[in-house]
């Protein structure tokens, strides 16, 4: 029997190579004046990026442009909103990685309100966002966060008293998501690896989450199959369109899954570490994924009534291991071994390369939320995960 579940709304999705060519026509559905949000990366200077910008100008669209460097802070969003506060903005478009899309999502949500974004952040501000926004189009150029399909924008303020929190409302789901794998071919190998492991982590944690349901489980497994067949190939050969398409599908699917099932310990660390250190989100996820799952499995094997969760780890092992006729434990252990090998193959850096110190382990673990993790972990077990990658 399928258990009851709720499912969040989705954007209108255009998926596949060449779908970016529809952007100008889609913008015209909303009007002729648009705010374009991009990252500082290489997309605009790429051949495809130049084609996109030229096509918008040729269609007579009035384009305002703001560039976001790194993960968006409240100040970055507030400044972007104030810069166009006197203009008529019909639609906001974000073209870039997860940070650019989160920034665009937050800007579209703050344009009708004005004021300070921080006032509306979960766990920081005191106000609930009413769900008003300027129409928003998300166009990812990396295959990672799946922010093109989620109802929250992750906002960071890095420092000793920093935070990494969400602006969230059901209405903040993008109106349109254009997922064109061709836009990801300019993504360098190290970003392909980090964003791909973020996507893989989201799919795995959503599948294992205590909030998961039959629908998210089915989607997550399909996404994980795509990661298995595509991530290493995309990392090795950046212009492999088949691999890029597989990862674009996996990332989109991961966003849908996390929005409906929640995440686990690794993403708990991503928030607590990202509040203190300027570490790329995907690096945190990728570098901690193997050890976190190893600890999860070890604790689950000690617990009673863990059959459901170990069965799910068994299913994950069957995806990444081609051998037939082995024991359940063989496939579970094989999945963990696969994660460690993948981390090495993708050359994921350790956290110490970004200044993360062992002296902060206690503080980080204390601020790491794992409520949707398949098993409760002690502070000592969280510290073990973190220390292994510093």
DSSP calls for 28-58: HTT-SEEEEEEESSSTTTSHHHHHHHHHHHH
Whether 216 maps to a domain, the answer reads yes
Q: Both 363 and 316 in a single domain? A: yes
- For the whole prediction, is pTM greater than 0.85? yes
Q: Per residue, what are the HEC states of 195-257?
A: HHHHHHHHHHHHHHCCCCCHHHHHHHHHHHHHHHHHHHHHHHCCCCHHHHHHHHHHHHHHHHH
Which pLDDT value is given to residue 52? 85
Give the residue-averaged pLDDT of 280-295.
96
pLDDT of 47 strictly over 90: no
CB environment 152-166: b (16+ within 10 A), e (fewer): bbbbbbbeeebbbbb
Total count of domains within the chain: 2
Domain end (from 184, 219, 249): 184
Same domain, 61 and 180: yes
176 and 193 housed in the same domain: no
Task: Specify whether 155 is located in the same domain as 193.
Answer: no
Rounded distance, CA 306 to CA 309, Å?
6
Per residue in 221-250, pLDDT (tens digit) is: 999 999 999 999 999 999 999 999 999 999
- When pLDDT is averaged across residues 113-121 and rounded to a whole number, the result is 96
CATH number (domain holding residue 89) = 3.40.50.1970
212 and 171, same domain (yes or no): no
3 in a structural domain: no
In a domain, 102, yes or no: yes
* Domain final residue, candidates 169, 184, 199: 184
Q: Please give the pLDDT value at position 146.
A: 97
**Residue 144 and residue 205 in one domain:** no
Structural tokens at position 107: 């800007």
Question: Is 2 part of a structural domain of the chain?
Answer: no
Q: What is the CATH classification number for the domain harbouring 231?
A: 1.20.1090.10
Query: Do 81 and 126 lie in a common domain?
Result: yes
pLDDT in tens, 169-215: 999 999 999 999 999 998 999 999 999 999 999 999 999 999 999 99
Same domain? 235 vs 362: yes
Q: What is the mean pLDDT of the chain?
A: 95
What pLDDT does 82 receive?
96
Q: What is the pLDDT of residue 49?
A: 80
* CB of 292 closer than 8 Å to CB of 264: yes
Residue 160, domain extent: 12-184
Q: Taking the chain, what is the end-to-end CA distance rounded to the nearest angstrom?
A: 44
- Among 120, 153, 184, identify where a domain stops: 184
My answer on whether 221 and 167 are in the same domain is: no
Name the token pair of 54. Answer: 């030229």
pLDDT at 331 over 70: yes
């Amino acid at each position: 029997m399928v258990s009851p579940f709720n499912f969040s709304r989705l954007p209108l999705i255009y998926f596949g190579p060449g779908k970016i060519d529809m952007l100008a026509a889609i913008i015209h559905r909303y009007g002729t004046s648009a705010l374009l949000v991009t990252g500082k990366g290489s997309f605009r200077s790429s051949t495809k990026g130049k084609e996109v910008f030229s096509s918008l100008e040729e269609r007579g669209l009035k384009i305002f442009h703001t560039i976001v460097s790194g993960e968006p802070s409240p100040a970055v969003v507030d400044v972007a909103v104030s810069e166009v506060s006197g203009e008529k903005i019909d639609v906001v478009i974000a073209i870039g990685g997860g940070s650019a899309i989160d920034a665009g999502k937050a800007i579209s949500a703050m344009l009708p309100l004005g004021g300070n974004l921080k006032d509306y952040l979960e766990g920081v501000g005191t106000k609930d966002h009413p769900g008003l926004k300027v129409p928003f189009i998300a166009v990812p150029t990396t295959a990672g966060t799946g922010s093109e399909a989620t109802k929250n924008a992750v906002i960071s303020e890095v420092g000793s008293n920093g935070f990494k929190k969400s602006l969230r409302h059901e209405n903040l789901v993008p109106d349109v998501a254009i997922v064109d794998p061709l836009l990801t071919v300019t993504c360098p190998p190290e970003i392909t690896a980090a964003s791909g492991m973020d996507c893989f982590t989201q799919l795995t944690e959503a599948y294992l989450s205590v909030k998961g349901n039959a629908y998210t489980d089915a989607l997550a497994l399909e996404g994980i199959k795509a990661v298995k067949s595509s991530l290493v190939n995309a990392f090795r050969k950046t212009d492999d369109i088949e691999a890029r398409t597989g990862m674009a599908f996996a990332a989109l699917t991961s966003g849908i899954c996390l929005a409906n099932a929640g995440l686990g310990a690794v993403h708990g660390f991503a928030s607590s570490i990202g509040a203190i250190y300027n570490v790329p989100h995907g690096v945190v996820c990728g570098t901690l994924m193997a050890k976190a799952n190893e600890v999860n499995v070890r604790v689950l094997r000690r617990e009673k009534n863990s059959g459901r969760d170990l069965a799910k780890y068994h299913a994950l092992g069957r995806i990444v291991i081609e051998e037939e006729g082995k024991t359940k434990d063989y496939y579970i252990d094989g999945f963990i071994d696969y994660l460690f090998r993948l981390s090495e193959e993708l050359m994921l850096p350790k956290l110490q390369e970004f200044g993360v110190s062992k002296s902060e382990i206690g503080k980080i673990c204390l601020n790491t939320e794992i409520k949707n993790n398949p098993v409760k972990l002690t502070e000592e077990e969280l510290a073990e995960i973190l220390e292994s990658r510093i």
